Amino acid sequence: MYNTKTPQVKQLSPSLAEIENYLFAPSFGLCQLVYNNDPSINVNIANGIKNSVAYKNFVETMEEQNSTRSNENFLADDNNNINFDEEVEIPNFIKNLISRRCAASSIAKQAEAGQIIRITKLPKSMQNETILQYPIYVLLNKKVDETNDENIKLDSIWHGYLCVSETEYASSFDAVLQENNGNFDPEAAMVQTWNPIQVDINLAKDSNGNIQLSGQINTNAMNAIRSLAKDAIFNVQDNTIPSWLGKVAVRQTSEGFDVVTGSPLMKKNDPREIYQNMYFKVANEAIKPMTKIAISEYVAQQKNMQVSANSFIIKQIIKAFYLTAILQKVRRVEYAMADKNNADNKDDTHYDFVLDNIVKFALLRGNSDSINGSEIEITVIDNKPLKIIRIDDDGVEKEYIINANETQRFSFDDNDIKMIFITADNQKFEVSLQ
C-alpha cells in the first residue's frame, strides 16, 4: 500500500488513491461478477478477489443498498420521478473523447514503430491465475531481434513505452501527446519515456490475428519521444524550469526536438514520485512477467513441435495458435526399424497435431518454404461441427463444414492465402498461408 496522503501543493486528478485502486484493486465490475457467482470467472481468481479489501467494501455497499430497497414501493417511486422519454444531451467533452477514441482505434497486420498497441489478453498459462482488467497501451519503438539459447528466433518482441491517461502527473520525461502528433486514444495520451518495457505483440492481437491499435504517432513525434527517452536515461533536464504540478509546456530535448512535457520533480513531497513508483511496479510485476511467460510459451511450443523444414503449413498453424490454444504433437505410428530420434526431428508426416481436443491436423505432404504442394487431413474430434473458410488471392471464399468425428482432406497451392477455423462456440482461429 502506497502512502497516498503525502502533502502536496495542488490536488492532482485523479487522486493517487484512485490510481492505486485502478491499478491494483479488483474493479467494481469484476467484484460484481464474483458477487453474482458468474461462471466465466475462474474459481481460484474468484477466491482471491473475495479476500480483497475492495470486494469486502463492495459487499458492504451491496448489502446496504439491498436493505434500503426492501420496500416494495421503492422502484415504483423511482419510476414516477423519471421521464423515460426525455432525451439526455451528451456533454461536448465526452463526445470529443468518444470521437478521438474511434478515430484512433484500428487494426494492423504488422507491427511498426509509432503504433500504440492495445494489449487485451494474457498468455494462456496465466489465464487461470489472474485477469487483465483494463487494456495496456504501449507505444512501439523498435523490434527486438533476438534468438534464445535453443536457437529459436523471437520475432514478436518489441521495445516500447507505457502509455497512460493521467497527464496531470506529467514530469520532465513524460511526453504529453498533441493533436499534431497523430491519432491517439485519450487513455494513451501520455508516454512514459522513463518507463521503457518489452512486450510480445501477440498479446495485442484479436481473434483474427490482427494487432489492435489505439493510435499511430507520426515520424516527427516519434523522433522527439526517442530523444526525450535518451534524456531520461541520462537525467538530462533544464534545471531552470520550476517544478509546477499539473502543468505542461513545450520544451526542447538536448537534441533540439520540440516536445510537450511536465516539469521536474520537486525535491520532496512530490506526488508524482509516488505515481511513478506505482507504474514502475506495473511494468516490473505485471508487464515484464507477461512478456516472459509469453516468450516461454512460444519457445516451449516450438520445441514440443520440433517442426521440420518440410512442413510450412504446420509452422503456420503453430504460429496462429500458440497464444490462444493448446496444440499438442502426437505420434501417429511407432517405428520398429527406424531411429526414433531422427524420425522425431526430421519428419512431421509421422505426427498428428491436436488443437485443444477440438480438431486434429495430419500432415500428408509438406513444402519447405511455401504452401504450394502441401496436403493435410483435418479431423473434428469434438462432438460439435467445425466451420472452415478458405480464401484465395482473388478474395474468393469457400466454406466447409466438418461434422463431429469426420475427416476432410485439403490440398494447397500458391493461390491460397488464408484459412479461418470457427468452432461451434464461436472461437475463431486464422491461419495465414503466405
For residues 139 and 156, the answer to whether their CB atoms sit within 8 Å is no
**Cα 113 → chain centroid:** 17
| Contact partners, residue 148, CB within 8 Å, separation at least 6 | 154, 295, 299
Q: Note whether 380 and 402 are within 8 A (CB).
A: yes
**Euclidean distance between CA atoms 400 and 6, whole angstroms:** 63
DSSP state, residue 368: S
Exposed / middle / buried, residue 375 (Cβ in 10 Å: 0-12, 13-18, 19+):
middle
Contacts 24+ apart (CB under 8 A), 158-161: 158/111, 158/198, 158/199, 158/201, 159/196, 159/197, 159/198, 160/117, 160/196, 160/197, 160/198, 160/199, 161/191, 161/192, 161/193, 161/195, 161/196, 161/197, 161/225, 161/229
pLDDT in tens, the chain (434 residues): 444 444 445 689 999 999 999 999 998 888 998 999 988 888 888 888 899 989 998 898 888 877 766 554 544 455 555 555 667 788 888 888 888 888 888 999 899 999 999 999 888 778 778 888 999 999 999 998 766 655 666 778 899 999 999 999 999 999 999 999 999 999 999 999 999 999 999 899 988 889 999 999 999 999 999 999 999 999 998 777 889 999 999 999 999 999 999 999 998 899 999 999 999 999 999 998 898 888 787 776 666 555 443 467 777 776 666 555 556 666 655 433 344 444 444 455 556 777 667 778 777 766 666 777 778 888 888 788 888 888 888 888 888 999 888 888 888 888 888 888 888 877 777 888 77
What CATH architecture does domain 306-432 belong to? Sandwich (2.60)
User: Distance (Å, rounded) from C-alpha 240 to C-alpha 165?
Assistant: 27
Domain limits of the chain?
Answer: 7-88, 90-293, 306-432
SS3 state at 401:
strand
User: Contact, 313 vs 371, CB < 8 A?
Assistant: yes
**Of 210, 214, 200, which Cα lies nearest the Cα of 109?**
210
| Cell of residue 52, nine digits | 480483497
Asked whether 288 and 197 are in contact (CB, 8 A), the reply is yes
Give the number of C-alpha atoms closer than 13 A to the C-alpha of residue 219, restricted to the C-beta side: 0
Whose grid coordinates read 487461470?
Answer: 128
Helix (H) or strand (E) holding 106: strand 106-108
- What does the pLDDT read at residue 308? 45
Nearest Cα neighbor of 429 from 394, 395, 378, 383 is 378
E strand or H helix at 164, and its extent? strand 157-164
Q: Phi, psi at residue 379, to the nearest 5°? A: -120, 130
- Asked, as a colleague might, if the bond just before 14 is cis with ω within 30 of 0, I would say yes
Q: Are 54 and 31 in contact (CB under 8 A)?
A: yes
Task: Quote the CA–CA distance of 378 and 359 in Å, as a whole number.
Answer: 7
Other CB atoms within 10 A of residue 167 CB? 18
Alpha-helical runs (H) found in 69-150: 73-80, 92-104
Instruction: Identify each DSSP E strand in 288-396 by its residue range.
Output: 327-331, 351-355, 359-365, 375-380, 386-392
Beta bridge partners of 387: 401, 422
Q: Tell me the helix, strand and coil percentages in the chain, rounded to 5.
A: 35, 25, 40
C-alpha distance across the termini of the chain, in Å: 50
H/E/C letters for each residue in 202-258?
A: HHHECCCCCEEEEEEECHHHHHHHHHHHHHHHCCCCCCCCCCCCCCCEEEECCCCCE
The predicted structure's pLDDT at residue 338: 40
pLDDT at 2 (0 to 100): 47
* β-strand partners of 153: 147
